[in-house]
Amino acid sequence: MIVDVLLAYFPSDEEPSSDVEGVGEDRGFGGIPASTDAVKELAVVKYERGGDVREESCIICFGEFDEGVEVTRMPCKHAFHGGCLTRWLESSHVCPLCRHAIPASADP
Ligand SMILES: [Zn+2]
Ligand SMILES: [Zn+2]
């Protein structure tokens, strides 16, 4: 199920001709892990119905947020279960909902 989601969000449309140019920021929606520092800086907030968090469920596991549960927020304000988001960011540095990118791992 997760694999289907990944494929849907990250179609492989890479240009084989592109050389090393502008690597790091905008390019690479395909499977670059997020920097661990960036992951650590993500905000953890309590989910409250009618509160700040717009989502009612985690799109990664499709589980609804329970009242009072801690969720982790991307800079784009999308919220996910902390564990789900951490796992997601180990394989991708973009928001699963809107593709907002956070700093990617510097490792090759
Ligand atoms: Zn989840
Ligand atoms: Zn987002």
What's the pTM? 0.70
State the pLDDT at residue 31.
83
- pLDDT 10s digits, 25-65: 444 455 899 999 999 999 999 999 889 999 999 999 999 99
Distance 79 CA to ligand 1 centre (A): 9
Distance 65 CA to ligand 1 centre (A): 8
Return the CATH superfamily for domain 1-7+31-108: Zinc/RING finger domain, C3HC4 (zinc finger) (3.30.40.10)
Distance 53 CA to ligand 1 centre (A): 14
Nearest CA to 89 out of 25, 35, 24, 10 is that of 35
Distance 102 CA to ligand 2 centre (A): 10
Residue 49 Cα distances to 25, 41, 45, 54, 78, angstroms: 35, 24, 12, 9, 15
DSSP class of residue 84 equals H
Distance 17 CA to ligand 2 centre (A): 30
The separation between CA 87 and the C-alpha centre of its own chain, rounded to angstroms, equals 9
- Beta strands at 79-81 and 43-46: parallel, antiparallel or unpaired: unpaired
Residues with CB under 5 A from ligand 1 (ion): 58, 60-61, 63, 81, 84
